């Protein structure tokens, strides 16, 4: 058990569908602390950098287009095992495989537009937090 930080994004579909409050409520109810938060709109070029690890995947163009299609909410979440806790609250990438009661099972109806992003390891959390936030923005 360790106190970790992780990057959470509410994707353009989550923002446009009015799910910002619902998602944040679930994070706070699970004991995760919000250490930084902002709304931004990525260019497709920025989305391509953020999702660089997926550049060989067939859905890369579509995903980066989707991620730059409207505003997103970026957050740093902190807490014990925050990376794993956040991933559990999100549910599986494919909403059809996500456990009942998870964000994706409850709200996503598309494998690409699946409401939220969450870092998957301490290394990616550090990289992704740095991508979105500078020292001044950390509470």
Which residues have a Cβ under 8 Å from the Cβ of 109 and sit 6 or more positions away? 95
Q: Which is nearer to ligand IDP, 26 or 117 (CB)?
A: 117
Surface-to-core class of residue 21, CB atoms within 10 Å of its CB (0-12 exposed, 13-18 middle, 19+ buried): exposed
Query: Considering 26, 48, 104, 117, which one is annotated as catalytic?
Result: 117
46 is catalytic: no
Which region among 42-50, 73-81, 108-116, 128-136 touches ligand IDP (by CB under 6 A)?
108-116
The count of C-alpha atoms lying within 13 angstroms of the C-alpha of 36, restricted to the half-sphere facing its C-beta, is 19
Could you tell me if 5 and 125 are in contact, meaning their C-beta atoms sit under 8 angstroms apart? Answer: yes
Classified as helix, coil or strand, 102 is coil
Binding mask 31-70 for ligand IDP (x = CB under 6 A): -----------------------x----x---x-------
| Calpha distance 35→53 (Å, rounded) | 26
Rounded to a whole number of angstroms, the minimum distance from the CB of residue 121 to ligand IDP is 10
Q: Which of 22, 78, 120, 137 binds ligand IDP (CB under 6 A)?
A: 120
Subset of 74-133 contacting Mg ion (CB under 5 A): 120
CA 6 from centroid of its chain's CA atoms: 9
Q: According to the binding rule CB under 6 A, does residue 73 interact with ligand IDP?
A: no
Using the structure block, give the residue that is written with the tokens 């956040």: 86
* Tokens found for residue 26: 């679930």
Q: According to the binding rule CB under 6 A, does residue 84 interact with ligand IDP?
A: no
Binding footprint of ligand IDP on the chain (CB under 6 A):
54, 59, 63, 93, 111-112, 114, 117, 120
Binding footprint of Mg ion on the chain (CB under 5 A):
120
């Amino acid at each position: 058990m360790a106190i970790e930080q992780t990057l959470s994004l509410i994707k353009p579909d989550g923002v446009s569908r009015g799910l910002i409050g619902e998602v944040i409520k679930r994070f706070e109810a699970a004991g995760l602390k919000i250490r930084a938060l902002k709304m931004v709109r990525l260019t497709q070029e920025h989305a391509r950098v953020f999702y660089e690890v997926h550049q060989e995947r067939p859905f890369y163009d579509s995903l980066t287009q989707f991620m730059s299609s409207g505003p997103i909410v970026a957050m740093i979440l902190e807490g014990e095992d925050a990376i794993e806790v956040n991933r559990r609250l999100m549910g599986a990438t494919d909403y059809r495989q996500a456990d009942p009661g998870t964000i994706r099972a409850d709200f996503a109806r598309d494998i690409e537009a699946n409401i939220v992003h969450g870092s998957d390891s301490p290394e990616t959390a550090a990289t992704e937090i740095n991508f979105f936030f500078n020292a001044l923005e950390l509470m």
